[in-house]
């Protein structure tokens, strides 16, 4: 039976998770999070089919 090694099963996702956390922190400090907030707090006319 083919089973995954511990590294494939847990190591890879944990590495991906940590890289993701790093990306999020970098993006947030680079002003991306603010761009998201700015867009999300006003009614998005494109989303609701008026833009």
Partner 1 sequence: MKEIILWLFGLEEEALSDPTTVAGIIASFVVIAACLAVFITLIVKGRYKINRFGNKVWQRTKLITQGTWFILTNSFMVGWFKGTIYQGKLKYMCVPGMNCYSCPGAWGACPIGAMQAIFDEFDATKSWYDPETHTLVQPPLYWVAFYIIGFIMIVGALCGRFICGLLCPFGWVQDLLYKIPVKKLKLPRDERRINASKHPGAVRFFLGLDRALRYFKYAFLVIMVIFLPLIVSANPWFCKYVCPSGMLIGGIPLMSMNESLAAQAASLTLLKMSILVSLLVISVFLYRPFCRYICPLGALYSLFNPISLYKYGIDDSKCNRCKGCHACANACPMGIDPVKTPNNPECIRCGTCNATCPQKAIHSGFKFKTADGSAIRTRKNKNN
Min CB(4)–partner 1 separation in Å: 6
Half-sphere exposure of 46 (CA within 13 A, CB side): 2
Sites for partner 1 among residues 6-35 (CB under 8 A): 8-10, 12-14, 16-17, 19-28, 30-35
d(CA 39, CA 29): 17
Total residues at the site for partner 1 (CB under 8 A)? Answer: 44
d(CA 43, CA 34): 16
Give the interface with partner 1 as residue ranges (CB under 8 A). Answer: 1-4, 8-10, 12-14, 16-17, 19-28, 30-51
């Amino acid at each position: 039976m083919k089973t995954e090694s511990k590294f494939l099963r847990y190591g890879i996702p944990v590495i991906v998770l940590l890289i993701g956390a790093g990306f999020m922190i970098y993006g947030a400090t680079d002003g991306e999070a603010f761009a998201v907030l700015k867009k999300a707090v006003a009614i998005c006319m494109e989303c609701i089919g008026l833009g």
